[in-house]
Structure 1
């Protein structure tokens, strides 16, 4: 088995095992954080992926933490996303929407001057991208958050449920619940960011409770087979270095498997000196979860095919390579060289550094 083999995911036969990973690009129309035609062009150029997982998309105004990121909580946003899903489906692609609540990874400017929310009032020691109305942005420190009340937690579960329903209305093939990389659900999972003393804090079972409840609500709303969950067991940045995270992740995997969740997506550390994911954890995860496994984190063709051959994953997600290589699967197929992206154009802006990267000369993909 390798990256170019087909794969059956729920009702969809994927053309290959290459997944376009979720990547924040901050190109929505303002005001309203509305997906637009430029975003549709960007995604349709990359519809050669076996599956696309969109950029993280906030489930509510409270869930926003970066400028110009899309939402899925207003009718205008739903209509904007339809431009994207229609275009991708016309090219034969499969596309899932990543559902996002950033929790404490936010800034008061997104919340009318109020501080962001979190499991507990603990400073994240992190930064988020905040831009002015002209699109000029910079990274700014996150303020001290406030702890959520039990009533507010119930509201957030409902926001996830409604966001999943909205995603179906917008034409998505499924959704991915973002419970990784230091955002709200991940914050609840970890003892370093969650020091609550109620039913959502303390034990592994309690810290896992919100993710399990959110997944249950989403599965009941749209079907477990159309629901995925992203987790980050070995990522330690943003105050996430929890000594109990591995048994917590395995507990969640077992609970999500019982719910019939379609896939788990591991966000693996992708910086130069990051810890390697040990093989014994990969084996444990297989034992706890019987559904599809996706992994992401600085994979190249050789490393990806090795992981697939050893059955530690079913699909491999690629992020940065898809930015400058809209025809990335074709480049993998034909061993074409990869172009490098312009880091200055990652967040905000226009088509430049977004949908103007060309396909490889000689590639059969349409490119830009």
Structure 2
């Protein structure tokens, strides 16, 4: 079950962006499973993609097309990942791009394809080719919510975030959607995210902003430690409102702060809707001598099946956390300076059980659906956080039955 209410916001339309949604019948007849984004001419776009070396065919095509020109259209299908499909998968992705291009009268390279769903099955390309014209015909500026539904797979609810921000007297809009519930450990350098703004930002500045924001958001979440073949995050600036935001200015920095906040909301929404989730967990590693060390410890905890199953049971089995810290590969770990907290309850102080700790206090700290695990290493002043989940019976059931 998902954590929290998770209702979609009232999306702010983004000038220069139109969205079309249709049903191609890829996996379930009548279900929204095809989404098209249209961007106004002159828009700039940045993208970050999976680092999985078995990247899906649409990822290969999207990266190639993005290197050639700024896209006018994004095409997203759910129900089939078009991954592990070889040369035919590339041909199928290109055929879908060609259909969008022919329907919209743009170059094929101006279309970026994205797919999500089961890996290793041929893309039902004929169904997509048939549905694409209908998807483009119903383009409007108010279909963010429908698009959020149209990119779902094992998600139990659609995910989105929106902002209006005033910068230097300019009212700027930001809206975005994301999907993902399992195979979540993005390393972007099965999750997808699409964000757009009407701000005017150069392609180079946009690329840097997206890279930094992804590092602090989608690259800080993990459900099961598996990086999808299809991960992608796209950020488009249509330039329809106000003067250009220039890198290095206070206005640019303020906009980036708001954008990063929105990206983190979209990323955390994925964790809160993870497959079988019953707990949303922040793991913070503080007093580290480097970000690398802090993240190494944080991810070791976030990926540990023993820790995650204890979280599911609301069992304050702090020995499991202690053991993970010890095997995380920190050469200069100082045990006598290490402290561990569950919420505000200190369970380990100076490398040993805290004198004030009781099982009752530990149990109480774990009863809610949200929890902070805090590790203090006593090595420095650097702190890093990731967000993860517990590991439940339902997670196993969902993935055991995924293809049946």
- Fold similarity call, TM over 0.5: no
- Structure 1-normalised TM-score? 0.26
More strand by share: 2
Q: So what's the TM-score if we normalise by structure 2? A: 0.24
Higher alpha-carbon Rg? 2
